Amino acid sequence: MRTFHSPLQRRHAPEKELHNGAFVPFAEHPGRIDAILEALGPAEAPRDHGEEPILRIHPRAYVDFLKSAFGEWRAAGRPGDAGAYVWPVVGRRPLTLDRVDARLGQYSYDASTPIAEGTWEGSYWSVQSALSGLDAVLGGEAAAFALCRPPGHHAGADYMGGYCYLNAAAVAAEVAIAAGRRRVAILDIDYHHGNGTQDIFLDRGDVFFASIHADPKTDYPFYWGHADERGIGAGEGATLNLPLPRGTAFPAFETALERALTAIAGFDAELLVCSFGADTFVGDPISFFALETADYAPIARRIAGLGLPTLVVMEGGYAVEALGANVRSVLSGF
Ligand code: Q9C
Ligand code: ZN
């Protein structure tokens, strides 16, 4: 399968994240790319589509923030990566402040998403990889793989979170619509709920969002991904959340997958974007499902059974020693 990735994506390399009360080495590191490319072989360099497709999803002010935040942080005399330590509470006045600390809080919702020197560049090229994979699929390939890193599904239109800054899957889905696909489905099978993607399309009837993930009662991102979130307005019924308990292994995952696929089949989509996270793997250090490497191939075969042109976008997956084999397994099924 054609695979797209840019070495410039490595420029995003924060040092640490706040995890369970302590600063620990950043789990979403460039070594993840090495592991995947070692298993797949070299990837094609993406074409540069510019900022225009990104701005279809993300407002200019947020994009400018991502570009300038690290420089503002340095200019304020701060060491290390830029990170928020204060967040506006829901319902407070939408003040426009230019202090970097205020801006970091305004555009994020958690403390696991630092901005390093190369965060903008890495995120930009991650989206370009998704757009190049989309080009391949729009051009007639049955499926293509975008090795997107940093990941994207926790990023909303104007916020970062969960190691995500720009939402590559959402940008690709929107560009597919702009290219004339009337209805697009997004199937998110990362361990964590894809809150950013859901938020972006929550009130849209032309993009179906289905997600299988750890129950947010026990797992990040907690405030999204509950089964009663089903879309609003024109998007009523076009969001499907299938939360599963910790410990979920292949049989229960497959049952949820069949439900998601039935719903997607009923939506009459012309194209599928699959946000794939390998953090459902039994050995993932920050997640608690129990899928095995060999399970990813039949999961992909069932998804491919929809018969839709499919763009696979990489999201999470932190068991680096197994990551290459897990990605190879999933791609073998498409
Ligand atoms: N102690 C993705 O898989 N970590 N993001 C929270 C909890 C955030 C995962 C820290 C996990 C985000 C794309
Ligand atoms: Zn995840």
Residues 91-105 have pLDDT tens digits of: 678 888 999 999 999
Diameter over CA atoms, the chain: 55
Q: Select from 23, 112, 153 the residue to mutate for testing ligand 1; criterion: most ligand atoms less than 8 Å from CB.
A: 112
CB distance 149 to ligand 1 below 6 Å: no
Please report, for the chain, the start and end positions of each structural domain, with discontinuous segments joined by +.
Answer: 3-13+26-48+117-332
154 catalytic? Reply is yes
Distance 136 CA to ligand 1 centre (A): 30
Which one is catalytic: 5, 29, 153, 154? Answer: 154
Report H helices in 202-283: 250-267
With CA atoms as reference, report the closest residue to 261 among 231, 233, 299.
299
ipTM reported for the complex surpasses 0.95: yes
Half-sphere exposure of 157 (CA within 13 A, CB side): 12
Give percent above pLDDT 70 in the chain: 99
**pLDDT value for 306:** 98
Query: For domain 3-13+26-48+117-332, is the CATH number 3.40.800.20?
Result: yes
Instruction: Choose the residue to mutate in 16, 20, 110, 212 for probing ligand 1, maximizing ligand atoms within 8 Å of C-beta.
Output: 110
Question: Residue 210 is encoded by which pair of tokens?
Answer: 């289905």
pLDDT-derived band at 89, boundaries 50, 70, 90: confident
| Residue 319 and residue 278 in contact, taking contact as beta carbons nearer than 8 Å | yes
Burial of residue 40 (number of CB atoms within 10 Å: 0-12, 13-18, 19+): middle
Backbone angles phi, psi at 194, to 5 degrees: -85, 70
Cα-to-centroid distance, 138 and ligand 1 (Å): 32
Q: 315 CB less than 6 Å from ligand 1?
A: yes
Beta strand 16-19 with 22-25 is antiparallel
What is the predicted pLDDT for the residue at 90? 62
- Place 88 in a pLDDT band, splitting at 50, 70 and 90: confident
Contacts of 330 (CB under 8 A, 6+ apart): 276, 278, 296, 297, 299, 300, 312
